[in-house]
Amino acid sequence: MIEGISVLEAVNLGKRYRRTWGLQDCTLTIPKGRVAALVGPNGSGKSTLLRMAAGLSQPSVGTLRVLGRSPSPGTDDLRERVGYLDQDRPLYKGFRVVEMLRFGEMNNPTWNMDVAKNHLARLDIPLRSRVSDLSGGQQAQVALTLCLSKQPELLLLDEPGAALDPVAREDLLRLLMRQVADSESSVVLSTHALSDVAAICDYVVVLAHTRVVLSDDTEYIVETHRILSIVDDRDLALPPGITVIHEQHNARGRSLLVRVELPFNDDRWRVDRPTLEEIVLAYLRAGSPHGDGRDVDETEDGAR
């Protein structure tokens, strides 16, 4: 990997827990400067991948590079360059917000107190308040602020918006986007909210059953998928260069969510543009991963 081009690169990465795999055959590259989403059901491997990237757990097989280095608890420079926010957003509940900030400052050489205070002022969170007195949404904002104030090159966020009401989630994501606008940090976040993904993520990794089933630029994904539908002519063969991701039959016809590599011009089919949500859901519903679980983008699937 050439440093500076990708923030995270995995090759045949796998994590085995006692009896089961948490992540298998994971090969992917997340480019620098992106806001990348990891999406997939619970247990699909999102947290496993984030924890390994944060150096909190070690791969069982394969290789993983984060900002060009192998993450492990001992990789000190990664500790400063990478910010990780756990699902549980650990905070010291008895502390005041200002004490959390000082704690962050003491532990992080790259800490920027102005960033911390600006974010909190904008969110109307008083520095004197006790963490335990804050709402769930405010606690999440404080936890993210602590993470952002380290000024990391890469942010790894495990479901940052989970369990928040819509307004708090929106505020949290804007806080994050403002940081991206100001500091050009790269972000890898896991989420269940597909609508957020379409708005803020320019790279998407879909995981199903501990394997990566899709990994690409959001715009490219949207541009290369279509919904084809047809009435009556059930057996009409598809032109070459089309990969069927998900197929639905109804009484008089069928509809297919497909990946198209070439311009599609067969006017017997009605062609629609699916939303990113529809595409992601089609890959998740398709269930079994493509090929041997490698990035779908790299499999040479023709018409099926």
Partner 1 sequence: MEQYPSLTFRLDSQSGLAPYRQLVDQVRLAVRTGLLRDGDQLPSVREVVTQITINPNTVHRAYRELEHQGIAEGRAGLGTFITSRKRATLNVTERASLEQALRDWVIDARRAGIDEETIRELMRTVLRQDGTVRS
Binding piece for partner 1, criterion CB under 8 A, among 58-66, 70-78, 179-187, 286-294: 179-187
Question: Closer CB to partner 1, residue 107 or residue 195?
Answer: 195
170 binds partner 1 per the rule CB under 8 A: yes
Give the one residue of 11, 12, 33, 129 binding partner 1; rule: CB under 8 A.
33
174 binds partner 1 per the rule CB under 8 A: yes
Mapped onto helix, strand or coil, the DSSP state of residue 199 is helix
The DSSP annotation for 95-140 comes to SBHHHHHHHHHHH-TT--HHHHHHHHHHTT--TTSBGGGS-HHHHH
- Binding-site size for partner 1 (CB under 8 A) equals 33
Give the one residue of 15, 34, 150, 246 binding partner 1; rule: CB under 8 A.
34
Minimum Å gap between C-beta 278 and partner 1 is 8
Question: Closer CB to partner 1, residue 1 or residue 260?
Answer: 260
254 binds partner 1 per the rule CB under 8 A: no
d(CA 19, CA 25): 17
What stretches of the chain show up as alpha helix (H) in DSSP?
A: 46-53, 76-81, 97-107, 113-122, 136-149, 166-183, 194-200, 218-223, 276-285
262 binds partner 1 per the rule CB under 8 A: yes
219 binds partner 1 per the rule CB under 8 A: yes
Minimum Å gap between C-beta 216 and partner 1 is 12
Question: Closer CB to partner 1, residue 133 or residue 182?
Answer: 182
The DSSP annotation for 236-270 comes to PPPPTTEEEEEEEEETTEEEEEEEESS----TTSE
228 binds partner 1 per the rule CB under 8 A: no
Phi, psi (5° rounding) for residue 128?
-80, -10
Phi, psi (5° rounding) for residue 228?
-105, 135
Cα distance between the two ends of the chain: 34
Question: Closer CB to partner 1, residue 125 or residue 197?
Answer: 197
Question: Which residues are near partner 1 by CB under 8 A?
Answer: 33-35, 170, 173-174, 177-178, 180-182, 195-196, 198-202, 218-220, 222-224, 261-263, 272-277
